[in-house]
Structure 1
Amino acid sequence: MARRLIVIRLDIPVDPSSPEAQEWLRGELARPEYQSAKPTWFDLASKAVQDWLASLFQGPGGNAGPVLLLVVVLVIAGLIVTAFFVFGRPRLNRRSALEGRSLFGADELRTAADLRASAERAARAGDWVLAVEEQFRAIAVALDERTLVRVTPGTTATEFAQRAALVVPDEREALGGAARSFDEVRYLDRPGTESAFQQLVALDQRLQRVRIAAPAVAR
């Protein structure tokens, strides 16, 4: 039986530089499945950013230590600056805590120094009711400014005296007497006296000299 040898010729361009091969390659790459696989502009941009960050963290000579340290310092500095703008300086923040506060039945925006000056003016004018009220308020605000005693809305004079006595137990009796003097002129319409005012001034001066090593705010 005679066998026939069948030769199949595959007409595929083998020269990639020929015009026919280049045209065939362009046609092949123009097919939808190849076009959909091409990276988008977002892919290219993301890759560029990733490469840039990688180069930063590698640092010169492949050592990422200095770069990481710089990044940590910058992050901490950013947090500090943000906290400064949000919360303000610590002392100003303590002052702001008094703004809009109802202190013993009245809104109080003044500092302890302001209240002491007001009490002194009232005393010079012989207005002992106002002098006693303002001097007692000065004592409360002064301890609040020093973060020794927290004065919250609704705190009564007696409650303040009890909280302050926890911080300065040696002045417990004097603080209780000061609260009673305030309540008498404020709520019981009792006439204030020069003696009551001077006792409050003396108590205020003693409290100003008190130094607490690690103050714990009495609430």
Structure 2
Amino acid sequence: MDIPVVIGRDDARRAAQEELTDHRYQAAKPSWFSEAIRWVSERLAELLGNVESVVPGGIFGLVAIVVLLVVAVVAIRVRSGKIRCAASGDRLVFDGGRPRSAAEHRKSAEEAAGRGDFADAVRERFRAIVRSLEERALLEERSGRTADEAAADAGRLLPDLAAGLYQCARQFDDVHYGDRTATEAGYRELTELDRRIQKAKPVAMAAG
């Protein structure tokens, strides 16, 4: 008759550890990749279960919502891209045609105002202002200039008229590029600014 062998707690723990380190147990243990796949599968199942109870239509409703969000984001990006493009390099004062003198632009502005076309009158009067500043060498002759750039550059030499230049540049952009309705009062504002600019002396010359 065999006599039972009684081992201590520490001996038993060491024996169990030695047994579990056997290569047969290690080979049977799932890999870390398998464990990761299992964890992701469990979380996905929980998510889908929650979707079924929260989103109308379950997973199909969720897909529809995601598609709508993507379409909205794309539309916003396209729209904002167009706005940025129109707000920067495309807002030029001159259209790239044959260069015309300030007097020619003034004549076209008056003719347009006479027939009630104040949109064209505003465009031509602002172009007359910019061209006259170029003819006086207060602005460098440059076709690729925006209304804001012209107002900023001229405002440094004509500080008393800087605010009026900025306001008229805004009016030009709003009418020519923003489809804003031009008014006779707005055109008269540009005409008065044009008159004042012709009489004004730049700060550099006045100081001399």
Runs of 4+ in structure 1 off by over 3 angstroms are: 102-106, 212-215
Distance in 2, matches of 1:194 and 1:178, equals: 13
Partner of 1:183: 173
Deviation of the 1:105 alpha carbon: 3.5
Partner of 1:106: 96
CA offsets 1:36-87 (integer angstroms, 9 cap, x no match): xxxxxxxxxxxxxxxxxxxxxxxxxxxxxxxxxxxxxxxxxxxxxxxxxxxx
Give the one of 174, 187, 191 matched to 1:201: 191
Q: Between the two proteins, what is the percent identity of the paired residues?
A: 42
Residue 179 of structure 2: SS of its match in structure 1? Answer: coil
Q: Which protein is bigger by CA-based radius of gyration?
A: 1
Question: Structure 1 or 2: larger helix share?
Answer: 2
Distance in 1, matches of 2:188 and 2:115, equals: 15
> Are 1:117 and 2:107 counterparts?
yes
Give the one of 121, 126, 131 matched to 2:116: 126
After superposition, the CA RMSD in angstroms is 1.7
List runs of 5+ in structure 1 lacking aligned partners: 1-101
Partner of 1:162: 152
Distance in 2, matches of 1:160 and 1:213, equals: 17
Give the one of 136, 143, 150 matched to 2:140: 150
TM-score, structure 1 as length reference: 0.49
Deviation of the 1:210 alpha carbon: 1.3
> How many residue pairs were aligned?
114
The residue type equivalent to 1:152 in the other structure is R
